[in-house]
Amino acid sequence: MSHRVLCAVLGAVALAPPVLAADRFEVRFGVAAFGAVDPLRDVKTVAGCGYDYLEPALSKAVALSPKALAAARQDVQASGLRVETMNWFLPGSDIKLTGPTVDREQVRAYLEKSLALAESFGAKVIVFGSPAARTVPDGFPREKAWAQLVDFLRLAGQVIETRGYGMVIGIEALRKPETNIVNSVAEALRLAREVRHPRVKLIVDFYHLAFENEDPDVVLQAGDRVAHVQIADPAQRSFPKDDPAEPRYRRFFDNLRKIGYRGRISVEAESKDLAGDCGPALQFLKRLAAPPMSR
């Protein structure tokens, strides 16, 4: 190649437009445990609708008998799907993370057991919502409860790192009717920054964000700390559907595109007809995720 041709080639490369984050928007879609929806039980239905993965409830899986757990593993393997994420990290009110009765040894023992199970399934993200576990008791100082959550998340990150597991913990902001602490993505982001552990990131749940009227632009602030996304129809907490009266869907997906999000989006919603709801919801979400010119 002559010097003149080489210069021309290098010049063309230099003038080429940069690869924007929007050009790297690649997502996978799954179904999460919620209400009557149980991905481990409903695995055939979820697979039949065309989803990419499952998000079962970790605390419920921990509570299964060895026989039931083995059967669930067989069903998952036969479906062709994988458990890639898990929600419902801690069980009900059996374990407390804030308040005067926190038992750190109990918490550690649960982390060791539950995260080992999640690793055995191949889960890559564990959603930390767990409203009952984290809700601050009446009269307990909020700053102390916040410090307890920081301690818990650092401990979880430590267990993951020490055991060599392949997952991250994602802090989920939950609406105020469910818990009285970490009710916005902005707060979850602040908590993650204080924890300062590479295995602790964020979950952004569109349903909670919309319920709390948080600006979808908070996604831009979170940036690469967003490890996972959940979604549901904000009006009825049902499987999402095309609704001209709900413009936040589009803004939310556009912001995910802007930060170059390349992860998973789970439908975490109620359904009385999973076979009828999951297919149309998936097609709607794929349209939202499609490049602007192909919509």
pTM above 0.85, yes or no: yes
- CA proximity to 178, closest of 222, 101, 237, 227: 237
What residue type is assigned to position 28 of the chain? Answer: R
The span from the CA of 261 to the CA of 238, in Å, is: 24
Q: Which residues contact 105 (CB under 8 A, 6 or more apart)?
A: none
> pLDDT value at position 292?
75
| pLDDT reported for residue 119 | 98
pLDDT of residue 26: 87
Q: Within 13 Å, how many C-alpha atoms sit on residue 229's CB side?
A: 27
Fold of 31-290: TIM Barrel (3.20.20)
Query: pLDDT tens per residue, the chain (295 residues)?
Result: 444 444 443 444 333 334 344 455 789 999 999 999 999 999 999 999 999 999 999 999 999 999 999 999 999 999 999 999 999 999 977 899 999 999 999 999 999 999 999 999 999 999 999 999 999 999 999 999 999 999 999 999 999 999 999 999 999 999 999 999 999 999 999 999 999 999 999 999 999 999 999 999 999 999 999 999 999 999 999 999 998 888 999 999 999 999 999 999 999 999 999 999 999 999 999 999 998 765 5
* Distance from chain centroid for Cα 281: 18
Bridge partners of 171, per DSSP, are 128, 202
The residue extents of the domains of the chain are 31-290
Q: Provide DSSP, the chain.
A: --HHHHHHHHHHHHHSPP--GGGG---EEEEE-BTTB-TTTSHHHHHHHT-SEEE-BHHHHHHS-HHHHHHHHHHHHHHT--B-EEB--S-TTTS-SSSTT--HHHHHHHHHHHHHHHHHHT--EEEE--HHHHPPPTTS-HHHHHHHHHHHHHHHHHHHHHHT---EEEEE---TTT-SS--SHHHHHHHHHHH--TTEEEEEEHHHHHHTT--TTHHHHHGGGEEEEEE--TTTSBS----TT-THHHHHHHHHHHTT--SEEEE--B-S-HHHHHHHHHHHHHHHHS-GGG-
Cβ-Cβ contacts under 8 Å for 234 (sequence gap 6 or more): 206, 207, 210, 211, 246, 248
- Cα separation, 63 vs 44, whole angstroms: 22
State residue 19's pLDDT score: 38
